[in-house]
Amino acid sequence: MSELPNTMQAALLTHDGFAQEATGLAIDDAADWLEDAEIPVPQPDAGQVLIRMRASSVNPSDLHFIKGEYGQPRIKGSPAGFEGCGDVVATGAGAEHLAGQRVAFVAAGSGAWAEYALTPAMMCIPLRPDISDFDGAAQIVNPLTAMAMVDIAKQAGDAFIISAATSQLGKLMCALGRDLGLSPIALVRRADAVEFLKEIGAAEVLVTGEADFADRLTDVIKTLKPRVFLDAVADQQCETVFTAMPNGARWIIYGKLSTEPPALTQTGQFIFMSKQIEGFWLSKWMSSTPPEDQMRVVGEVQARFADGRWSTDVAATIPLRDLVGTLAETLKTTKGKIMIVSE
Chain residues binding ligand NAP by CB under 6 A are 59-61, 141-142, 145, 164, 166-169, 189-190, 232-233, 254-255, 257-258, 280-282, 335, 337
49 strand-pairing partners: 91, 119
Residues whose CB is less than 8 angstroms from the CB of residue 47 and which lie 6 or more positions away in sequence, other chains included: 92, 93, 94, 95, 120, 121, 122
Largest Cα separation within the chain, whole Å, is 66
Phi, psi of 322 (to 5 degrees): -100, 0
CB of 273 to ligand NAP, least distance (A): 25
- C-alpha distances in Å from residue 77, one per residue of 38, 53, 140, 327: 11, 19, 25, 19
CB of 8 to ligand NAP, least distance (A): 26
CB of 95 to ligand NAP, least distance (A): 26
Nearer to ligand NAP, 1 or 26 (CB): 26
Q: Which residue is nearest to ligand NAP (CB)?
A: 255
CA–CA dist 236, 242 (Å, integer): 10
- Cα dihedral 156→158→164→167 (10° resolution): 100
- Burial degree of 259 (CB within 10 A; 0-12, 13-18, 19+): middle
CB of 7 to ligand NAP, least distance (A): 31
CB of 99 to ligand NAP, least distance (A): 30
CB of 23 to ligand NAP, least distance (A): 12
- Per-residue 3-state assignment (H helix, E strand, C coil) for 236-261: HHHHHHHHHCCCCCEEEECCCCCCCC
39 strand-pairing partners: 8
The runs of H, that is alpha helices, within the chain are 60-66, 133-137, 141-156, 168-179, 194-200, 213-224, 236-244, 268-272, 282-288, 291-306, 323-333
Phi, psi of 297 (to 5 degrees): -65, -40
Nearer to ligand NAP, 98 or 197 (CB): 197
Nearer to ligand NAP, 41 or 207 (CB): 207
CB of 166 to ligand NAP, least distance (A): 4
- C-alpha distances in Å from residue 257, one per residue of 25, 81, 127, 206: 7, 19, 31, 18
Nearer to ligand NAP, 132 or 269 (CB): 132
CB of 313 to ligand NAP, least distance (A): 8
Nearer to ligand NAP, 108 or 273 (CB): 108
Nearer to ligand NAP, 148 or 220 (CB): 148
Nearer to ligand NAP, 116 or 254 (CB): 254
Nearer to ligand NAP, 128 or 335 (CB): 335
